Amino acid sequence: MLRLIAPLFAFAVVAAAPAPALADDYVLVIKEHRFQPAELTVPAGQRIKITIDNRDPTPEEFESHDLRREKIIPGHTKGTVWVGPLEPGAYGFYGEFHQDTAQGKLIAK
């Protein structure tokens, strides 16, 4: 069955050119369950690499419904999230494990 189904997905994977080429690095730091900066401005219309640096000892899940991203960042580690190309606008994100404090916004200009 797997052999029958796999090619159906393979076409999509093969057809994809991994976009990350030249992109600036943006950094979000998580400290005491807060994002620093809480508002990150990035250029619109291009693929952006965001490094999330979790300096808390506890894991956090970076989640954004607006950006359709979810990624767990274990304590004292860094994680990478690619977003975009984005339309200009504001995109909310939050830390799912500490939603009361970990809130932020990505501003695409």
Partner 1 sequence: MLGSALIVFREVLEAALIVAVVMGATRGVVGRGRWVSGGIAGGVLGAVVVAAFAGAIADAAQDRGQELLNAGVLLAAVAMLAWHNVWMSAHGRQLAAQMKQVGHDVSVGAKPLSALALVTLFAVLREGSETALFLYGLAASGAGHQSLLVGGVLGLAAGAALGVVIYRGLLAIPLGHFFTVTGWLVLLLAAGLAANAAGYLNQAGLVPALSSQVWNSAWLLRQDSWLGTLLHILVGYNDRPMGIQVVFYLVTLFSIYALMRLFGPARPGRPAPTAQSPA
Task: Work out whether 38 is an interface residue with partner 1 (CB under 8 A).
Answer: no
Q: How far apart are CA 107 and CA 87, in angstroms?
A: 10
With respect to partner 1, which residue has the nearer C-beta, 40 or 84?
84
Contact yes or no for 88/44 (Cβ under 8 A): yes
Q: How far is the CB of 41 from partner 1 (least distance, A)?
A: 19
DSSP state at residue 21: S
Contact yes or no for 84/46 (Cβ under 8 A): yes
Give start and end residues of each alpha helix (H) in the chain. 2-15
Count the Cβ atoms, other than its own, within 10 Å of residue 51.
14
Q: Mask 40-79, x = binds partner 1 (CB under 8 A)?
A: ----------------xxxxxx---x--xxxxxxxx-x-x
Task: Work out whether 96 is an interface residue with partner 1 (CB under 8 A).
Answer: yes
Structure tokens at 7: 């090619």
Task: Work out whether 1 is an interface residue with partner 1 (CB under 8 A).
Answer: yes
- Binders of partner 1 among residues 14 to 33 (CB under 8 A) are 15-20, 33
Residues that bind partner 1 (CB under 8 A): 1-2, 4-6, 8-9, 12-13, 15-20, 33, 56-61, 65, 68-75, 77, 79-82, 85-87, 96-97, 100
